[in-house]
Homo-oligomer: A and B are copies of this chain.
Protein backbone atom coordinates (compact mmCIF):
# COMPACT_ATOMS: atom_id res chain seq x y z
CA UNK A 1 0.00 0.00 0.00
CA UNK A 2 1.36 3.42 -0.86
CA UNK A 3 0.85 6.34 1.47
CA UNK A 4 -2.26 7.66 -0.26
CA UNK A 5 -3.87 4.24 -0.17
CA UNK A 6 -2.95 3.96 3.48
CA UNK A 7 -4.68 7.27 4.14
CA UNK A 8 -7.73 6.15 2.21
CA UNK A 9 -7.93 3.03 4.36
CA UNK A 10 -7.46 5.21 7.45
CA UNK A 11 -10.37 7.38 6.39
CA UNK A 12 -12.49 4.29 5.77
CA UNK A 13 -11.90 3.21 9.33
CA UNK A 14 -12.76 6.62 10.73
CA UNK A 15 -15.91 6.81 8.61
CA UNK A 16 -17.17 3.53 9.99
CA UNK A 17 -16.63 4.59 13.59
CA UNK A 18 -18.17 7.97 12.89
CA UNK A 19 -21.25 6.25 11.57
CA UNK A 20 -21.42 3.88 14.53
CA UNK A 21 -20.99 6.66 17.07
CA UNK A 22 -23.43 8.97 15.28
CA UNK A 23 -26.02 6.23 15.20
CA UNK A 24 -25.60 5.53 18.89
CA UNK A 25 -25.79 9.21 19.80
CA UNK A 26 -28.83 9.83 17.60
CA UNK A 27 -30.57 6.79 19.03
CA UNK A 28 -29.57 7.91 22.51
CA UNK A 29 -31.01 11.37 22.08
CA UNK A 30 -34.22 10.43 20.35
CA UNK A 31 -35.49 7.05 21.51
CA UNK A 32 -33.19 5.06 23.77
CA UNK A 33 -34.71 4.19 27.16
CA UNK A 34 -33.18 6.34 29.88
CA UNK A 35 -32.42 3.50 32.28
CA UNK A 36 -29.98 2.03 29.76
CA UNK A 37 -27.68 5.04 29.88
CA UNK A 38 -25.01 3.70 32.22
CA UNK A 39 -24.51 0.55 30.21
CA UNK A 40 -24.48 2.48 26.95
CA UNK A 41 -21.89 4.90 28.28
CA UNK A 42 -19.65 2.04 29.36
CA UNK A 43 -19.88 0.60 25.84
CA UNK A 44 -19.18 4.01 24.35
CA UNK A 45 -16.00 4.19 26.44
CA UNK A 46 -14.75 1.10 24.64
CA UNK A 47 -15.71 2.29 21.16
CA UNK A 48 -14.29 5.77 21.77
CA UNK A 49 -11.03 4.19 22.90
CA UNK A 50 -10.70 2.10 19.74
CA UNK A 51 -11.63 5.16 17.71
CA UNK A 52 -8.92 7.14 19.45
CA UNK A 53 -6.36 4.40 18.81
CA UNK A 54 -7.25 4.21 15.13
CA UNK A 55 -7.24 7.99 14.83
CA UNK A 56 -3.80 8.38 16.35
CA UNK A 57 -1.93 5.52 14.73
CA UNK A 58 1.73 6.56 14.35
CA UNK A 59 2.00 4.82 11.01
CA UNK A 60 -0.60 7.22 9.65
CA UNK A 61 1.15 10.24 11.08
CA UNK A 62 4.35 9.27 9.33
CA UNK A 63 2.51 8.73 6.06
CA UNK A 64 0.80 12.11 6.41
CA UNK A 65 4.15 13.76 7.13
CA UNK A 66 5.68 12.19 4.04
CA UNK A 67 2.70 13.16 1.91
CA UNK A 68 2.79 16.73 3.11
CA UNK A 69 6.19 17.08 1.48
CA UNK A 70 5.16 15.56 -1.84
CA UNK A 71 3.59 16.90 -5.02
CA UNK A 72 -0.10 16.14 -4.72
CA UNK A 73 -3.33 17.19 -6.42
CA UNK A 74 -4.92 20.25 -4.84
CA UNK A 75 -7.58 18.04 -3.30
CA UNK A 76 -5.14 15.58 -1.79
CA UNK A 77 -3.03 18.46 -0.51
CA UNK A 78 -6.10 19.79 1.26
CA UNK A 79 -7.03 16.36 2.56
CA UNK A 80 -3.55 15.80 3.98
CA UNK A 81 -3.52 19.24 5.58
CA UNK A 82 -6.89 18.72 7.26
CA UNK A 83 -6.02 15.21 8.40
CA UNK A 84 -2.72 16.41 9.85
CA UNK A 85 -4.49 19.11 11.81
CA UNK A 86 -7.10 16.69 13.10
CA UNK A 87 -4.38 14.15 13.89
CA UNK A 88 -2.29 16.69 15.74
CA UNK A 89 -5.23 18.02 17.70
CA UNK A 90 -6.02 14.54 18.97
CA UNK A 91 -2.56 13.05 19.27
CA UNK A 92 -1.14 15.83 21.38
CA UNK A 93 -3.66 15.02 24.06
CA UNK A 94 -2.79 12.02 26.25
CA UNK A 95 -5.27 9.27 25.55
CA UNK A 96 -6.59 9.05 29.10
CA UNK A 97 -7.30 12.78 29.15
CA UNK A 98 -8.93 12.63 25.75
CA UNK A 99 -11.18 9.74 26.77
CA UNK A 100 -12.00 11.31 30.11
CA UNK A 101 -13.08 14.40 28.20
CA UNK A 102 -15.31 12.37 25.88
CA UNK A 103 -16.92 10.70 28.88
CA UNK A 104 -17.38 14.05 30.55
CA UNK A 105 -19.07 15.46 27.45
CA UNK A 106 -21.62 12.64 27.55
CA UNK A 107 -22.26 12.98 31.24
CA UNK A 108 -22.42 16.76 31.16
CA UNK A 109 -24.95 16.67 28.32
CA UNK A 110 -27.11 14.24 30.27
CA UNK A 111 -26.89 16.38 33.37
CA UNK A 112 -27.67 19.48 31.39
CA UNK A 113 -30.86 17.83 30.10
CA UNK A 114 -31.96 17.06 33.65
CA UNK A 115 -30.93 20.48 34.95
CA UNK A 116 -32.74 22.28 32.16
CA UNK A 117 -35.91 20.27 32.74
CA UNK A 118 -35.87 21.02 36.45
CA UNK A 119 -34.39 24.53 36.35
CA UNK A 120 -31.52 23.37 38.52
CA UNK A 121 -28.33 25.22 37.63
CA UNK A 122 -26.62 23.99 40.79
CA UNK A 123 -26.88 20.45 39.41
CA UNK A 124 -25.20 21.42 36.18
CA UNK A 125 -22.64 23.93 37.48
CA UNK A 126 -19.93 21.45 38.54
CA UNK A 127 -20.08 19.82 35.10
CA UNK A 128 -19.85 23.17 33.39
CA UNK A 129 -16.84 24.18 35.46
CA UNK A 130 -15.20 20.84 34.85
CA UNK A 131 -15.75 20.99 31.13
CA UNK A 132 -14.39 24.53 30.96
CA UNK A 133 -11.33 23.44 32.89
CA UNK A 134 -10.79 20.39 30.72
CA UNK A 135 -11.30 22.33 27.51
CA UNK A 136 -8.57 24.69 28.67
CA UNK A 137 -6.35 21.71 29.47
CA UNK A 138 -6.92 20.24 26.03
CA UNK A 139 -6.05 23.55 24.39
CA UNK A 140 -2.90 23.71 26.46
CA UNK A 141 -1.84 20.27 25.27
CA UNK A 142 -2.50 21.26 21.70
CA UNK A 143 -0.45 24.43 21.92
CA UNK A 144 0.81 25.70 25.28
CA UNK A 145 1.71 29.07 23.77
CA UNK A 146 -1.54 29.77 21.99
CA UNK A 147 -4.50 31.74 23.24
CA UNK A 148 -6.93 28.85 23.85
CA UNK A 149 -9.91 30.78 22.54
CA UNK A 150 -8.09 31.46 19.28
CA UNK A 151 -7.61 27.72 18.87
CA UNK A 152 -11.28 27.06 19.51
CA UNK A 153 -12.51 29.76 17.16
CA UNK A 154 -10.33 28.40 14.38
CA UNK A 155 -11.62 24.87 15.03
CA UNK A 156 -15.12 25.89 14.12
CA UNK A 157 -14.29 28.42 11.41
CA UNK A 158 -10.98 28.12 9.66
CA UNK A 159 -9.25 31.47 9.49
CA UNK A 160 -11.37 33.27 12.06
CA UNK A 161 -9.61 35.03 14.94
CA UNK A 162 -10.54 37.07 17.96
CA UNK A 163 -9.51 40.19 16.09
CA UNK A 164 -11.86 39.45 13.21
CA UNK A 165 -14.73 38.47 15.46
CA UNK A 166 -14.23 41.58 17.60
CA UNK A 167 -14.51 43.69 14.49
CA UNK A 168 -17.58 41.77 13.37
CA UNK A 169 -19.38 42.04 16.67
CA UNK A 170 -18.44 45.69 17.06
CA UNK A 171 -20.21 46.40 13.83
CA UNK A 172 -23.25 44.50 15.10
CA UNK A 173 -23.26 46.41 18.36
CA UNK A 174 -22.80 49.72 16.67
CA UNK A 175 -25.39 49.27 13.94
CA UNK A 176 -28.00 46.92 15.28
CA UNK A 177 -28.41 47.84 18.92
CA UNK A 178 -29.71 51.35 18.16
CA UNK A 179 -32.14 49.86 15.63
CA UNK A 180 -33.35 47.29 18.11
CA UNK A 181 -33.97 50.01 20.67
CA UNK A 182 -36.03 52.05 18.22
CA UNK A 183 -38.09 49.03 17.34
CA UNK A 184 -38.66 48.14 20.96
CA UNK A 185 -40.27 51.54 21.38
CA UNK A 186 -42.44 51.10 18.31
CA UNK A 187 -44.27 47.85 18.74
CA UNK A 188 -46.71 47.95 15.83
CA UNK A 189 -46.76 44.25 15.00
CA UNK A 190 -49.09 41.89 16.78
CA UNK A 191 -48.06 38.25 16.72
CA UNK A 192 -50.47 36.97 19.35
CA UNK A 193 -52.13 34.86 16.68
CA UNK A 194 -48.99 32.68 16.65
CA UNK A 195 -49.30 31.96 20.35
CA UNK A 196 -52.70 30.31 20.65
CA UNK A 197 -53.14 26.56 20.97
CA UNK A 198 -51.66 24.45 18.18
CA UNK A 199 -51.94 20.71 18.76
CA UNK A 200 -48.81 18.66 18.27
CA UNK A 201 -50.67 16.36 15.87
CA UNK A 202 -51.52 19.24 13.60
CA UNK A 203 -48.03 20.68 13.87
CA UNK A 204 -46.74 17.32 12.69
CA UNK A 205 -48.94 17.64 9.63
CA UNK A 206 -47.43 21.06 8.94
CA UNK A 207 -43.97 19.51 8.96
CA UNK A 208 -45.04 17.14 6.21
CA UNK A 209 -45.95 19.98 3.87
CA UNK A 210 -42.78 21.87 4.72
CA UNK A 211 -40.58 18.85 4.10
CA UNK A 212 -42.28 18.27 0.79
CA UNK A 213 -41.96 21.92 -0.28
CA UNK A 214 -38.26 21.99 0.56
CA UNK A 215 -37.50 18.63 -1.05
CA UNK A 216 -36.55 16.87 2.18
CA UNK A 217 -37.32 13.39 0.99
CA UNK A 218 -37.93 10.34 3.19
CA UNK A 219 -35.67 8.22 1.01
CA UNK A 220 -32.65 10.13 2.32
CA UNK A 221 -33.93 12.23 5.22
CA UNK A 222 -35.53 11.31 8.51
CA UNK A 223 -37.13 13.55 11.10
CA UNK A 224 -37.43 12.75 14.79
CA UNK A 225 -38.08 14.68 17.99
CA UNK A 226 -35.70 15.97 20.64
CA UNK A 227 -35.72 18.89 23.04
CA UNK A 228 -32.87 20.58 21.21
CA UNK A 229 -33.29 20.52 17.41
CA UNK A 230 -30.26 19.32 15.49
CA UNK A 231 -29.09 17.80 12.23
CA UNK A 232 -27.03 14.64 12.12
CA UNK A 233 -25.73 13.46 8.77
CA UNK A 234 -24.66 9.83 8.74
CA UNK A 235 -24.03 10.05 5.02
CA UNK A 236 -25.28 12.00 1.99
CA UNK A 237 -28.31 9.78 1.82
CA UNK A 238 -28.95 9.41 5.50
CA UNK A 239 -29.52 12.77 7.09
CA UNK A 240 -31.50 13.04 10.29
CA UNK A 241 -33.07 16.14 11.77
CA UNK A 242 -35.00 16.67 14.97
CA UNK A 243 -37.53 19.18 16.10
CA UNK A 244 -39.47 20.04 19.22
CA UNK A 245 -43.13 21.00 19.51
CA UNK A 246 -44.62 23.63 21.78
CA UNK A 247 -48.38 23.69 21.80
CA UNK A 248 -48.53 27.41 22.51
CA UNK A 249 -46.23 28.35 19.65
CA UNK A 250 -46.95 27.77 15.99
CA UNK A 251 -43.68 28.97 14.59
CA UNK A 252 -40.99 27.50 16.77
CA UNK A 253 -41.15 24.06 15.16
CA UNK A 254 -41.81 25.45 11.68
CA UNK A 255 -38.69 27.60 11.60
CA UNK A 256 -36.54 25.09 13.40
CA UNK A 257 -37.46 22.49 10.78
CA UNK A 258 -36.81 24.88 7.89
CA UNK A 259 -33.48 25.67 9.57
CA UNK A 260 -32.47 22.04 10.00
CA UNK A 261 -33.49 21.23 6.44
CA UNK A 262 -31.05 23.93 5.35
CA UNK A 263 -28.30 21.97 7.09
CA UNK A 264 -29.64 18.69 5.78
CA UNK A 265 -29.73 19.88 2.17
CA UNK A 266 -26.08 20.91 2.43
CA UNK A 267 -25.12 17.44 3.60
CA UNK A 268 -27.26 15.76 0.98
CA UNK A 269 -25.95 17.83 -1.92
CA UNK A 270 -22.23 17.35 -1.49
CA UNK A 271 -20.60 14.83 -3.81
CA UNK A 272 -20.86 11.16 -2.88
CA UNK A 273 -17.19 10.52 -3.48
CA UNK A 274 -15.73 11.87 -0.27
CA UNK A 275 -18.66 11.48 2.09
CA UNK A 276 -17.69 10.86 5.66
CA UNK A 277 -14.21 12.32 5.19
CA UNK A 278 -12.59 15.60 6.24
CA UNK A 279 -13.48 17.01 2.83
CA UNK A 280 -17.12 16.86 3.86
CA UNK A 281 -16.54 18.44 7.23
CA UNK A 282 -17.73 21.90 6.28
CA UNK A 283 -16.99 24.82 8.60
CA UNK A 284 -19.67 25.69 11.12
CA UNK A 285 -20.13 29.18 9.73
CA UNK A 286 -20.73 27.91 6.24
CA UNK A 287 -23.07 25.26 7.50
CA UNK A 288 -25.01 27.82 9.47
CA UNK A 289 -25.12 30.08 6.43
CA UNK A 290 -27.29 27.48 4.73
CA UNK A 291 -29.62 26.81 7.66
CA UNK A 292 -30.08 30.54 8.24
CA UNK A 293 -30.59 31.12 4.55
CA UNK A 294 -33.42 28.61 4.61
CA UNK A 295 -34.88 29.78 7.88
CA UNK A 296 -34.75 33.53 7.44
CA UNK A 297 -33.91 34.60 3.94
CA UNK A 298 -36.34 32.12 2.42
CA UNK A 299 -38.63 30.97 5.21
CA UNK A 300 -39.51 34.39 6.56
CA UNK A 301 -39.98 35.95 3.15
CA UNK A 302 -43.45 36.68 1.82
CA UNK A 303 -43.35 34.48 -1.23
CA UNK A 304 -42.17 31.41 0.64
CA UNK A 305 -45.74 31.28 1.91
CA UNK A 306 -47.51 31.75 -1.43
CA UNK A 307 -48.04 28.03 -1.76
CA UNK A 308 -47.77 27.07 1.88
CA UNK A 309 -49.99 29.52 3.69
CA UNK A 310 -53.19 28.13 2.24
CA UNK A 311 -52.12 24.65 3.32
CA UNK A 312 -51.26 25.91 6.76
CA UNK A 313 -54.70 27.49 7.09
CA UNK A 314 -56.20 24.26 5.92
CA UNK A 315 -54.60 22.43 8.84
CA UNK A 316 -55.37 25.15 11.37
CA UNK A 317 -58.84 26.04 10.11
CA UNK A 318 -60.06 27.61 13.31
CA UNK A 319 -56.79 28.78 14.74
CA UNK A 320 -55.86 30.87 11.68
CA UNK A 321 -59.36 31.69 10.50
CA UNK A 322 -59.07 35.45 10.63
CA UNK A 323 -55.55 35.91 9.42
CA UNK A 324 -54.26 36.63 5.91
CA UNK A 325 -50.84 35.96 4.43
CA UNK A 326 -49.66 39.53 4.85
CA UNK A 327 -50.52 39.62 8.54
CA UNK A 328 -48.96 36.20 9.02
CA UNK A 329 -45.68 37.15 7.36
CA UNK A 330 -45.49 40.34 9.40
CA UNK A 331 -46.12 38.36 12.58
CA UNK A 332 -43.38 35.83 11.84
CA UNK A 333 -40.97 38.72 11.41
CA UNK A 334 -41.87 40.62 14.55
CA UNK A 335 -38.77 41.71 16.44
CA UNK A 336 -38.81 41.50 20.17
CA UNK A 337 -36.09 41.33 22.79
CA UNK A 338 -36.51 37.90 24.28
CA UNK A 339 -34.75 35.28 26.35
CA UNK A 340 -34.36 32.28 24.09
CA UNK A 341 -31.83 32.29 21.28
CA UNK A 342 -33.46 29.61 19.16
CA UNK A 343 -36.76 31.48 19.24
CA UNK A 344 -35.25 34.91 18.65
CA UNK A 345 -36.16 36.97 15.63
CA UNK A 346 -33.60 37.68 12.95
CA UNK A 347 -32.67 41.12 14.22
CA UNK A 348 -32.05 40.39 17.88
CA UNK A 349 -30.53 36.98 17.16
CA UNK A 350 -26.93 38.20 16.75
CA UNK A 351 -27.15 39.94 20.12
CA UNK A 352 -27.80 36.56 21.74
CA UNK A 353 -24.63 35.37 20.05
CA UNK A 354 -22.68 38.47 21.00
CA UNK A 355 -23.47 37.73 24.64
CA UNK A 356 -22.17 34.18 24.35
CA UNK A 357 -19.08 35.37 22.46
CA UNK A 358 -18.19 37.91 25.12
CA UNK A 359 -18.77 35.40 27.89
CA UNK A 360 -16.68 32.71 26.21
CA UNK A 361 -13.86 35.14 25.54
CA UNK A 362 -13.87 36.25 29.15
CA UNK A 363 -13.97 32.66 30.37
CA UNK A 364 -11.01 31.57 28.28
CA UNK A 365 -9.05 34.72 29.05
CA UNK A 366 -9.67 34.16 32.77
CA UNK A 367 -11.34 37.55 33.01
CA UNK A 368 -14.45 36.30 34.72
CA UNK A 369 -15.20 34.48 37.94
CA UNK A 370 -16.60 31.07 37.17
CA UNK A 371 -18.96 30.68 40.04
CA UNK A 372 -22.41 32.08 39.41
CA UNK A 373 -22.00 32.17 35.65
CA UNK A 374 -25.79 32.03 35.54
CA UNK A 375 -25.89 35.45 37.15
CA UNK A 376 -23.30 36.79 34.74
CA UNK A 377 -25.50 35.49 31.94
CA UNK A 378 -28.53 37.28 33.30
CA UNK A 379 -26.59 40.50 33.67
CA UNK A 380 -25.55 40.36 30.01
CA UNK A 381 -29.16 39.88 28.94
CA UNK A 382 -30.23 42.85 30.97
CA UNK A 383 -27.44 45.01 29.62
CA UNK A 384 -27.76 44.16 25.96
CA UNK A 385 -31.37 43.14 25.51
CA UNK A 386 -33.04 44.71 28.53
CA UNK A 387 -34.69 41.46 29.47
CA UNK A 388 -34.18 39.54 32.67
CA UNK A 389 -34.25 35.75 32.56
CA UNK A 390 -37.05 34.44 34.75
CA UNK A 391 -35.20 31.16 35.31
CA UNK A 392 -31.90 29.49 34.50
CA UNK A 393 -33.80 27.16 32.18
CA UNK A 394 -34.54 30.24 30.11
CA UNK A 395 -31.08 31.60 30.86
CA UNK A 396 -27.75 29.86 30.88
CA UNK A 397 -29.31 26.39 30.68
CA UNK A 398 -31.14 27.01 27.42
CA UNK A 399 -28.48 25.63 25.07
CA UNK A 400 -26.68 22.30 25.11
CA UNK A 401 -23.48 23.62 23.51
CA UNK A 402 -21.43 24.44 26.58
CA UNK A 403 -22.44 21.13 28.13
CA UNK A 404 -20.81 19.30 25.29
CA UNK A 405 -17.77 21.53 25.32
CA UNK A 406 -18.50 23.39 22.11
CA UNK A 407 -16.84 26.65 23.07
CA UNK A 408 -16.05 28.81 20.06
CA UNK A 409 -19.01 27.39 18.19
CA UNK A 410 -21.67 30.01 18.99
CA UNK A 411 -19.90 32.87 17.17
CA UNK A 412 -20.29 30.95 13.89
CA UNK A 413 -24.07 31.26 14.28
CA UNK A 414 -23.93 35.02 13.82
CA UNK A 415 -21.20 34.70 11.25
CA UNK A 416 -23.26 32.18 9.29
CA UNK A 417 -26.23 34.53 9.33
CA UNK A 418 -23.96 37.22 7.89
CA UNK A 419 -22.57 34.82 5.29
CA UNK A 420 -26.04 34.02 4.08
CA UNK A 421 -26.88 37.68 3.53
CA UNK A 422 -24.04 37.94 1.07
CA UNK A 423 -24.83 34.61 -0.61
CA UNK A 424 -28.46 35.63 -0.86
CA UNK A 425 -27.56 38.91 -2.51
CA UNK A 426 -25.61 36.96 -5.09
CA UNK A 427 -28.43 34.47 -5.61
CA UNK A 428 -30.89 37.30 -6.14
CA UNK A 429 -28.61 38.72 -8.85
CA UNK A 430 -28.83 35.44 -10.70
CA UNK A 431 -32.29 34.08 -9.89
CA UNK A 432 -35.74 35.57 -9.46
CA UNK A 433 -35.98 34.03 -6.01
CA UNK A 434 -39.43 35.39 -5.16
CA UNK A 435 -40.90 34.04 -8.35
CA UNK A 436 -39.32 30.64 -7.78
CA UNK A 437 -40.63 30.47 -4.24
CA UNK A 438 -44.03 31.49 -5.46
CA UNK A 439 -43.98 28.62 -7.92
CA UNK A 440 -42.62 26.18 -5.40
CA UNK A 441 -39.41 25.67 -7.35
CA UNK A 442 -37.05 24.93 -4.47
CA UNK A 443 -35.30 22.50 -6.81
CA UNK A 444 -33.85 25.45 -8.74
CA UNK A 445 -32.82 27.26 -5.57
CA UNK A 446 -31.26 24.08 -4.22
CA UNK A 447 -29.39 23.60 -7.48
CA UNK A 448 -28.01 27.14 -7.24
CA UNK A 449 -26.85 26.41 -3.71
CA UNK A 450 -25.26 23.19 -4.81
CA UNK A 451 -23.42 24.78 -7.75
CA UNK A 452 -22.31 27.86 -5.85
CA UNK A 453 -21.71 26.62 -2.33
CA UNK A 454 -22.34 22.97 -1.52
CA UNK A 455 -20.17 21.52 -4.25
CA UNK A 456 -17.06 23.12 -2.73
CA UNK A 457 -17.55 21.12 0.46
CA UNK A 458 -14.50 21.52 2.64
CA UNK A 459 -12.26 21.20 -0.42
CA UNK A 460 -11.36 24.86 -0.03
CA UNK A 461 -11.41 27.26 2.92
CA UNK A 462 -14.56 29.33 3.55
CA UNK A 463 -12.92 32.53 2.36
CA UNK A 464 -12.16 30.97 -1.02
CA UNK A 465 -15.78 30.06 -1.54
CA UNK A 466 -16.62 33.75 -1.24
CA UNK A 467 -13.97 34.58 -3.81
CA UNK A 468 -15.36 31.98 -6.19
CA UNK A 469 -19.05 32.61 -5.72
CA UNK A 470 -19.31 36.27 -4.79
CA UNK A 471 -16.10 37.34 -6.52
CA UNK A 472 -15.13 39.16 -3.36
CA UNK A 473 -14.24 38.49 0.23
CA UNK A 474 -16.80 38.09 2.98
CA UNK A 475 -18.25 41.46 3.89
CA UNK A 476 -20.50 41.73 6.98
CA UNK A 477 -22.07 44.91 5.66
CA UNK A 478 -24.40 42.85 3.49
CA UNK A 479 -25.86 41.47 6.66
CA UNK A 480 -26.12 44.78 8.46
CA UNK A 481 -27.69 46.46 5.46
CA UNK A 482 -30.13 43.64 4.92
CA UNK A 483 -31.31 43.79 8.52
CA UNK A 484 -31.46 47.58 8.67
CA UNK A 485 -33.33 47.77 5.41
CA UNK A 486 -35.77 45.00 6.27
CA UNK A 487 -36.63 46.22 9.75
CA UNK A 488 -36.70 49.88 8.85
CA UNK A 489 -39.39 49.11 6.31
CA UNK A 490 -41.22 46.61 8.47
CA UNK A 491 -41.43 49.02 11.38
CA UNK A 492 -41.98 52.09 9.20
CA UNK A 493 -38.94 53.85 10.63
CA UNK A 494 -36.86 56.55 9.08
CA UNK A 495 -33.76 55.12 7.50
CA UNK A 496 -31.16 54.37 10.13
CA UNK A 497 -28.57 52.52 8.04
**Contact pattern, A 229-272, Cβ under 8 Å of B = 1, otherwise 0:** 00000111111000000000000000000000000000000000
B220 engages A33 (CB within 8 Å): yes
Contact B224–A33 (Cβ < 8 Å): no
* Given A20-B24, A32-B222, A33-B220: A238 touches B39 (CB 8 Å cut-off): yes
Main secondary structure of the interface of A (DSSP, over half): helix
**A27 touching B23 in the complex, CB below 8 Å, given contacts A43-B16, A50-B50:** yes
Contact call A47/B35, Cβ cutoff below 8 A: no
Please judge, given known A-B contacts A34-B219, A222-B32, whether A237 and B12 are in contact too, CB under 8 Å.
Answer: no
Number of interface residues of A (CB under 8 A): 41
Interface residues of A in 13-72 (CB under 8 A from B): 13, 15-17, 19-20, 23-24, 26-27, 31-36, 38-40, 42-47, 50
* Known A12-B46, A39-B235, A39-B238; contact A219-B33, beta-carbon cutoff 8 A: yes
A239 contacts B47, C-beta separation under 8 Å: no
- CB contacts (< 8 Å) of A148 on chain B: these are none
Pick from B15, B26, B45: contact of A43, CB below 8 A.
Answer: B15
CB distance from A151 to the nearest CB of B (A): 30
B33 touches A237 (CB 8 A): yes
Instruction: Check A236 against B23 for contact (C-beta < 8 Å).
Output: no
Instruction: Tell whether, in the assembled complex, residue B31 and residue A222 are in contact, meaning their CB atoms are under 8 Å apart.
Output: yes
A368 is an interface residue with CB less than 8 A from chain B? no
Q: Is the CB of A16 within 8 A of B220?
A: no
**A275 interface residue per 8 A CB criterion:** yes
Nearest-CB residue, chain B, relative to A218: B33
Give A13 to B43 CA distance when docked, in angstroms: 8
Find A237's partner among B39, B238, B276 (CB 8 Å cutoff): B39
Q: Smallest distance from the beta carbon of A269 to chain B beta carbons, Å?
A: 13
User: Could you say which residues of chain B place their CB within 8 Å of the CB of A15?
Assistant: 43, 46
B residues within 8 A CB of A299? none
Q: Say whether A46 contacts B221, CB under 8 Å.
A: no
A12 to B45, CA, bound (A): 10
Which residue in B26, B35, B43, B235 is a CB contact (below 8 Å) of A20? B43
Check B20–A222 contact: CB distance below 8 A.
Answer: no
Contact residues in B for A47 (Cβ distance below 8 Å): 16-17, 20
For A25, the closest partner residue in chain B by CB is: B23
Q: Quote the shortest CB–CB distance from A39 to chain B (angstroms).
A: 4
A272 nearest CB neighbor, chain B only:
B39
Chain B residue with the shortest CB-CB distance to A12: B46
Whole-angstrom distance between the Cβ of A49 and the nearest chain B Cβ: 9
* Distance of A70 Cα from B221 Cα, bound (Å): 55
Cross-chain contact B236 with A46 (CB below 8 angstroms)? no
Contact with A33, one of B40, B50, B239 (Cβ below 8 angstroms): B239
Contacts A27-B26, A33-B239 given; does A46 touch B220 at CB 8 Å = no
Q: Is the CB of A31 within 8 A of B224?
A: yes
Q: How far is the CA of A303 from the CA of B407 in the complex (A)?
A: 59
Q: Write out the residue numbers on chain B whose beta carbons fall within 8 Å of the beta carbon of A236.
A: 36, 39
A39–B234 CA distance with the chains assembled, in angstroms: 9
A39 to B274, alpha carbons, bound, how many Å? 11
Residue among A16, A36, A235 with the highest chain B CB neighbour number at 10 A: A36
